[in-house]
Amino acid sequence: MSQTTQFILNDRDVTTTEPAGMLVLDYLRRREHLVGTKEGCKEGDCGACVVLVGELNGTKVKYKPVTSCLMPLGELHGKHLVTVEGLNMAQLTPVQQAIVDEGGSQCGFCTPGIVVSLTGYLMNAGTAVDDEGIKYALGGNLCRCTGYGSLKRAGSVLIQQFGNGSAFAKRTKSKNSIAELIRAKALPEYFKSIPARLKKISKPRLKNGKIDHFIAGGTDLYVQRGDVIPETRVNVLNLHPEMKGITVTNGKVKLGALTTFEEFADHPGIIKIIPRIKEYMHLNASWQIRNRATLGGNIVNASPIGDMTALLLALESTLVLSDSDPLRRKNGRKRRTVPMKSFFKGYKILDKKPNEILTEIIFPRPKAGSKIHFEKVSKRKTLDIASVNSAIKIRAPKGVIAEVELSMGGVAPVPLFMKNTCAFLKGKPVTARSILNAIQVAMNEIAPISDIRGAAEYKRLLVRQLIIAHFTKLFPEFVTVRDFYEAH
Amino acid sequence: MKHIDAAAHTRGESQYVDDLPQPAKMLYAAVFSSDVAHGDIIKIETEKTRVLPGVVAILTAKDIPGENQIGPIIQDETLLADGKVHYVGEPVALVVATSPETAHKAAKQISMKVKALPAITDPRVAFAKGEIIGTPRTFHLGDVDSAWSQCDLIVEGRCDISGQEHVYLETQRARAVPLEGGVIRIHSSTQSPAAVQRASAKILGVPSNKIEVDVKRLGGGFGGKEDQATAWSCLVALAAWHTGKPVELVLSRHDDIKMTGKRHPYSSDFKIGVTKDGKILAYEVKHYQNSGATADLSTAVLERTMFHSTNSYFIPNVKISAACCRTNLPPNTAFRGFGGPQGMFVIESAIAKAAEKLGLPREEMQYKNLLQEGDMLPYGQRTADTRSRLTWDEADKAYNIAAIHKRVESYNETHFETKKGFAVMPICFGISFTNTMLNQASSLVHVYTDGSVSVSTGGVEMGQGLITNLAAIAAKAFGIRSERIKIESTNTTRVANMSASAASATTDLNGHATLLAIEQILDRLKMLLVHEQHVSHAEKVTIVDEQVLYDGKPTGWNWTKLVQKAYTSRVALSAHGFYATPGIWFDRTKEKGHPFAYHVFGTAIIEVTVDCLRGTYDINSAKIVHDLGRPINEIVDRGQIEGGLAQGLGWMTLEELKFDDTGHYLSNSLATYKLPDVYFIPDLLEVKLLENVDNPRGPYGTKAVGEPPLMYGIGAFFALRHAMRAFRPKVDFPFHSPLTPEKVLMQLHAEVVEEMKNGELVRKAKKAKTQKVSKIIL
């Protein structure tokens, strides 16, 4: 099934009929022989393959770093793909120079990915370049040689050059930062021509017919099936903008299923409802992955340990399922809603027919006084899969629980809504006693197994600890961690 | 001076094996490996695979024209399994196809019938069954048996130390290109080109001069490509030999983790005897090394464990016994530190346990026993230029250890949910290959008529900065700009019989060899000047900033003129230098000698905070005082210190190698094997170098730097233990590494876990509404 993908690769217009499901990384190395982009793990964990993908947004192009090892070639249609080669100029860029000067490159294998991530950061941070931001940008890049010290020092050099108070920052205020980065010789000249050139690429046609794989962000799908997808018929959902977007109305929050983790956490309306969403999101994947991973994908993937799934479950989300055929979907046919609590039927078994896809997620705006919290424990705090995660939405006026929604991940074959525990907690005061009693109820609701994420007993213990964590975080005026020990 | 390759690295222009331009008609290989840890092969089913479009060849043991043997020290390792399999991931067949995708798909279709035999994964079980590689060894100093009676306190314990996956970002790979005359050129990602050459020649049954191995650079090695790059090179050589075409093999991350060995897990028993004020009088340790299925480098690794079993301490009575135990895991291998870290972990555990029993701060007991000048080490070498106390005292002066202790304790008094801990970690690491024979190196230096210089050595650049160091050494020796120096790829046709780039000694050995080559050329050039300018003393000729001086005064000649004059006068502008480390030896019959040219010393202070509710933790800071002698290049050396520390921290904390009883690795990808990321390594990372210290045994007074800093990471384990004991005083937590968040939480809340195991919590929960629950609170 040949399909034409048209995009700009660095400074070159490209039209290819390679399979839409082929990995961008394989395309770059094997077809284009652009070997600066490296393969380190092929599952989004190391960042040696990071590239920038630029997407037209009005008259500007918005660039994001992503891992090319989990991205389908077909999605590049109408976009600008930038590899390390596409950043090279006669002289080193400030990012490259800082890494050289500070000894931020040893064996060099991870270096191109790091250069691309840091450049992507400069393109997005504007003048807010700072130490935390440098780490944010490198969150998806592993380096086994340096121990990151020299990379952080390279970051400090960039902060001096581009951060607050720098000459760059003074020039850049309210101007096009891409133009300023070109002036600062951080990007090649040709970036100026990209918006006009992207506009000339026609929109992809909606496809119908039999599909083997629907690909959203692909960040989990390619990890599981990366060796077979390229040869199958794929539908690259991100070519369908109607499944994107966030609307917050008074009563409801509507999320397009293709909303990425990063878009969700950056949305002012979401931040208002979940003030600490950025803190929680920091525990989930890396910037490079969050730029790709979608909320809908996280739910449909049905991993018992999906981080956003746990959060959306506690938010009482409802799922909108539509016809998988985009033409029929356009006509608004076959729309059905399912409460998220009843969507998961068993391990990777969903209340979803083969001809349905998840198009929208809707949750009610939490009532005034509601508190929301997310907890996750994983071996490595960042960019790791949880041993156990949990989310809670709770309203306890005057310390008495009026409403509570609690989810737990990693403790059952499905993302678990803690129905009995919630029922038990309703009407109880926020005290150590009632929380401990609730933990006992929770113990009968979970069925964790021992696996690479931890022993079953460990997960049981974590359920206890995370319930305590929720309450001590949200109600420090009523309970502290010490209360759970001093009663002994 | 910056890393020579750094600019090209940042531009993505540095080439690794599979980045080289692809020759026409190149073929691609994939490995079919055993899925059974131990068994007899009944049948390998390849017929269905052979007919797949694009499959060119399927090679098994019977297709090896020479000897099916690649064991580096003991000849016990086949290239392709022959009759038996010994671990999951053991290569059985090689598929050669027209594309990598086809090769991988085809490899998946091969099947194998195996009659399974019992598999062993535990080194103590292997030892009990007599599954021992080589001979168990014992070092003695003084007389432990009679010393116990003089001790005020004797403490015994056990350590279980996990292995470690190398995670070089560039997985194992090689490309073989057939040339005329039956020669095969191998582009390998190996730390040991000569090992690849020898093994490939043996596999093909050809003389070594028919095999050319070329190594430009490695995307990380860390010991994982010292011996274990050999098999993949041999496989592509075999495939090129059969097909007559270039063949490339690149392991996927999954295959790499599955098929290659790691740092050795150890299980050790210790017994330590001390006086009541903390002086160590006697120490006895037994190390059971989990060697994996074949010897690989295990016997040498074991030896270094023994050499470093007393770390930086003087103990008058010592008995160290150790054995390589054969298990059904991939052959474990070299990894930065080469057995030293495991030896050090055990003595640090023994000291921690004794100090806890005595009620002394651990660091007080450590300090009391630090090595002093001339102290006798258990292997018969006396310490010289001993800097254990010097680095400790400098660290104390800079960071005030007593104040840290006080600050941590007062934090813990005022905090309940989180606890802080800290540990001081001194190191003493011997430099030289412990196999004396390997301490030799060669360098080939050419000066071209335009004054540019080419240097070839047996050393391999793997990110450690070797070529940057060599360029600096060569430029300094000639007295010319470093831009004139080019360090060539490592190639067996230019430099023969090189030892592996390992043992931290690569710059030492190859730097010395380069100096010896340059000395020969300089001697000739000086004689030329003496002759041409009619002066008398060659030793008065020097080259400074490219100007040729006589007795410190300009001669009117510069470097290029000197070189051109040499060429026209038919003076040789090339030389080969050979270096063998002097004064080292070791007698294995007596287990005594002088195995190390010198030792590297240092002291680190690590601070941590544990979240006792969640079991998670942060490493807050690492502060290091390190002995580098006179550094050649501070950027390179600092990178080695910080990078080594990061690997050591990871080894002690996150990096959990899990395998099941059937010998399958469960942590088989970077999604399940977690190494430190940018957030895990503390921002507060200070490195101070000892100032005004020399090292007469290193080129220009420098000291080796590659491995020692890794062992600073051991401090993280004891800092975490310190914090955990603040939450649960008096608990004797097990010495079981890595100390993952899972272990921390389970150990901090052992009673709750116990109740859960007994089902009490669940049973109680059924009556939860009526029952009081105070009993299960902790």
DSSP character string of B574-640: EEEEEEE-TT-EEETTTTEEE--SEEEEEEEEEEEEEETTT--EEEEEEEEEE--BS-S-HHHHHHH
CA–CA separation, B590 and B601 (whole Å): 27
- The answer, for B679 touching chain A at a CB cutoff of 8 Å, is yes
Q: With an 8 Å Cβ cutoff, are A146 and B656 in contact?
A: no
pLDDT in tens, A7-60: 999 999 999 999 999 999 999 999 999 999 999 999 999 999 999 999 999 999
pLDDT in tens, B21-34: 999 999 999 999 99
pLDDT in tens, B547-601: 999 999 999 999 999 999 999 999 999 999 999 999 999 999 999 999 999 999 9
pLDDT at B377 exceeding the cut of 90: yes
Q: With an 8 Å Cβ cutoff, are B220 and A227 in contact?
A: no
pLDDT at A260 exceeding the cut of 90: yes
Average pLDDT, rounded, for chain B: 96
- The answer, for B635 touching chain A at a CB cutoff of 8 Å, is yes
Phi, psi torsion values for B501, nearest 5 degrees: -80, 100
CA–CA separation, A97 and B551 (whole Å): 41
Instruction: Give the pLDDT of residue B763.
Output: 44
How much is the average pLDDT of B426-445?
98
The alpha carbon of residue B616 is apart from the nearest alpha carbon of chain A, in Å, by 7
pLDDT in tens, A463-487: 999 999 999 999 999 999 999 986 4
Contact call for residues A38 and A26 (beta carbons, < 8 A): no
Instruction: Give the pLDDT of residue A332.
Output: 65
Instruction: Give the pLDDT of residue B308.
Output: 98
pLDDT at A422 exceeding the cut of 70: yes
pLDDT at B633 exceeding the cut of 60: yes
Q: With an 8 Å Cβ cutoff, are B220 and A144 in contact?
A: yes
Which is more confidently placed, A170 or B636? B636
pLDDT at A298 exceeding the cut of 60: yes
Q: With an 8 Å Cβ cutoff, are B680 and A380 in contact?
A: yes
pLDDT in tens, B264-318: 999 999 999 999 999 999 999 999 999 999 999 999 999 999 999 999 999 999 9
Interface of B with A in 511-570 (CB under 8 A): none
Contact call for residues B575 and B525 (beta carbons, < 8 A): no
Q: Which of B248, B707, B754, B760 is catalytic?
A: B707
Instruction: Give the pLDDT of residue B311.
Output: 98
pLDDT at A2 exceeding the cut of 80: no
> Does B707 participate in catalysis according to the annotation?
yes
Instruction: Give the pLDDT of residue A334.
Output: 64
Overall size of chain B counted in residues = 778
3-state SS of A366-412? Answer: CCCCCEEEEEEECCCCCCCCCCEEEEEEEECHHHECCEEEEEEECCC
- The answer, for B720 touching chain A at a CB cutoff of 8 Å, is no
Instruction: Give the pLDDT of residue B778.
Output: 30
Chain B CB contacts of A36 under 8 Å are 11-13
Nearest CA in chain B to A435: B773
Tokens of B554: 């300009």
How much is the average pLDDT of B222-246?
98
Q: With an 8 Å Cβ cutoff, are B677 and A83 in contact?
A: no
Chain B CB contacts of A144 under 8 Å are 166-169, 220, 222, 643, 647, 675
Contact call for residues B199 and B70 (beta carbons, < 8 A): yes
Nearest to A145 among B463, B685, B776 (CB): B463
Confidence of residue A401 (pLDDT cuts 50, 70, 90): very high
DSSP state of A415: P
Based on its alpha-carbon atoms, the radius of gyration of chain B, rounded to whole angstroms, reads 28
Instruction: Give the pLDDT of residue A128.
Output: 86
A86 CB contacts (<8 Å, ≥6 apart)?
A: A9, A10, A11, A188
Tokens of A226: 């990366």
pLDDT at B417 exceeding the cut of 80: yes
A441 by Cβ neighbours in 10 Å (0-12 / 13-18 / 19+) ranks as buried
How much is the average pLDDT of A153-174?
89
> What is the number of other CB atoms lying within 10 angstroms of the CB of residue B759?
11
Instruction: Give the pLDDT of residue B760.
Output: 56
Confidence of residue B68 (pLDDT cuts 50, 70, 90): very high
Q: With an 8 Å Cβ cutoff, are A379 and B615 in contact?
A: no
Instruction: Give the pLDDT of residue B759.
Output: 63
pLDDT in tens, B449-469: 999 999 999 999 999 999 999
B413 CB contacts (<8 Å, ≥6 apart)?
A: none
Confidence of residue A262 (pLDDT cuts 50, 70, 90): very high
Tokens of A4: 């034409």
Interface of B with A in 484-503 (CB under 8 A): none
Instruction: Give the pLDDT of residue A488.
Output: 41
Instruction: Give the pLDDT of residue B116.
Output: 97
Tokens of B624: 């290091």
Instruction: Give the pLDDT of residue A487.
Output: 46
Instruction: Give the pLDDT of residue A175.
Output: 64
Tell me, rounded to whole angstroms, the distance of Cα B212 from its chain centroid: 26
CA–CA separation, A123 and A177 (whole Å): 7
Instruction: Give the pLDDT of residue A204.
Output: 85
Q: In Å, what is the CA distance from B430 to each residue of B40, B136, B283, B504, B597?
A: 42, 22, 20, 10, 8
Interface test with A, best of B262, B418, B613, B774 (most A CBs within 10 A): B613
pLDDT in tens, B147-200: 999 999 999 999 999 999 999 999 999 999 999 999 999 999 999 999 999 999
Confidence of residue B761 (pLDDT cuts 50, 70, 90): low
- The answer, for B89 touching chain A at a CB cutoff of 8 Å, is no
CA–CA separation, B391 and B383 (whole Å): 15
pLDDT in tens, A423-440: 999 999 999 999 999 999
Instruction: Give the pLDDT of residue B771.
Output: 34
